[in-house]
Structure 1
Amino acid sequence: MQRSEKPGAGRIVVVGGTGLIGVRVTARLRAMGREAVAVSPATGVDAYAGAGLDDALAGAEAVIDLVNAPSWEPAAVLDFFRTASRNLAAAGRRAGLRHHLALSIVGVDRMPDNAYFLGKLAQEQGLREGGLPWTVVRSTQFMEFLTAIADGAETGGEVRAPVGQLQPIAAEDVAEAVATAALSPPAMGVIEIAGPERAPLDAMLRRRLAAAGDLRPVLSDPDARYFGGRVEALSLVPLGEARLGRLDLDAWLQRQALAKSA
């Protein structure tokens, strides 16, 4: 990943900072010498309800939006991301923030029948129209979620993977990219990040399950859906330039095996 400019002194507020990416982003920012504060509903800060936002953002320089919807029901997920994004932008304007950043998904604008993706598009719109300098970081799927993808695609003991390419990225590489973007000047646009390796979705899932000793067969099925959305060959991968993470799938799997045996 590219390095940022020399960090300033402002505090960075990581909303949704207790999740998979949030914990890593907060730790990465602190390792880069910045004051980073992780907030979530558990700490009294609820982006959807608007609760605690003004106090959390007071005196901050930037906010990183890593919130996730509690429900993936189409109307609920759209309402959640739209409302949370608008609330964050409004609180950010009151606080005089210099940067509003959100983590989104590569291909989010190419799968109109995926309700979660439509919610993330609404989140992005909240940044574009929020009146603050902004950056959207769109990421490919996290390696940490490959097993969950397989579980969601299982039918009758078989994993039926949709047709298409996947370019998964490790959570630690996502965190590095998000932290770097947060400390850089606002892009006023979209940055895409991805893993260093691209392969068919079924092949990626097969490697993940094999490494875990999971014997479920993985089949390529053109009619299979990806969290409700139809997948074309390049729906889930960058179409242009992307910043690539360091870990490929084999290296990530080796780390998982070492961590399990420790």
Structure 2
Amino acid sequence: MAASGEASGSTAGGALRDRYLDVLASVYLYNEHRGYTALDRVIAAVRRCCPDEPDFLAEVLRHRADEHKHYHMFRRWFERAGRMPLAMDRRVGHIDRFILRVFGCPIDALDTETVAASPAEFEKLCRVIMLTEQRGYRQVEILLRNGWVRSDPVMTRIFEIVHRDEPGHFLPYRHWLERRGRATARWREKWTDFWIHRALLLGRIPALFLDPALPRLDRWPHEADGEAAA
């Protein structure tokens, strides 16, 4: 009887671990795809606002390339597992929520021309990206200490690569602000970042974990963009 109970507990623990990794990878896949597609708007703003700063533009282009790479690493993780990701929407997107709170519109409605034409708006955009990416860096450090993540060698390697790349996702924006003597974060933006993170960590993501009816995607997000698989 004891052996049977131990086996049942082990099976239950394995199911919880698998569900955790499934939700985690789905959330990251959504955010990485959202990240590199949204950065196209940022790149357009940088080209317009900072035409004499090719190094800054190159750093933002590298940021986009990293997000694109990370998206396809999570896609391949799902392909190895033989299943599609769980369906996510902008409610799990830190940058989605942050842009909505700070600019009052979804990312897709953000007016690149208006942002690029206003130094204050462009600086605000840089701060939002910087704070979002710094939050992501700290979160990956936590995940790399998580036992369930560490139990999956491929997932662990993905997060090690994300952790290595992450400083290049916030330092360019911080350095750009510092070079101009601008604030790298305002207290309202820090507070917004904190509460978005808490809402995701303690509310939305646990709700997804507990939702047995959560559907899976029937196509990869990049296919809707007309992009060939990497």
When normalised by structure 1's length, the TM-score is: 0.24
1 or 2, which has the higher helix percentage? 2
1 or 2, which has the higher strand percentage? 1
Higher relative contact order (CA 8 A, sep 6+): 2
When normalised by structure 2's length, the TM-score is: 0.26
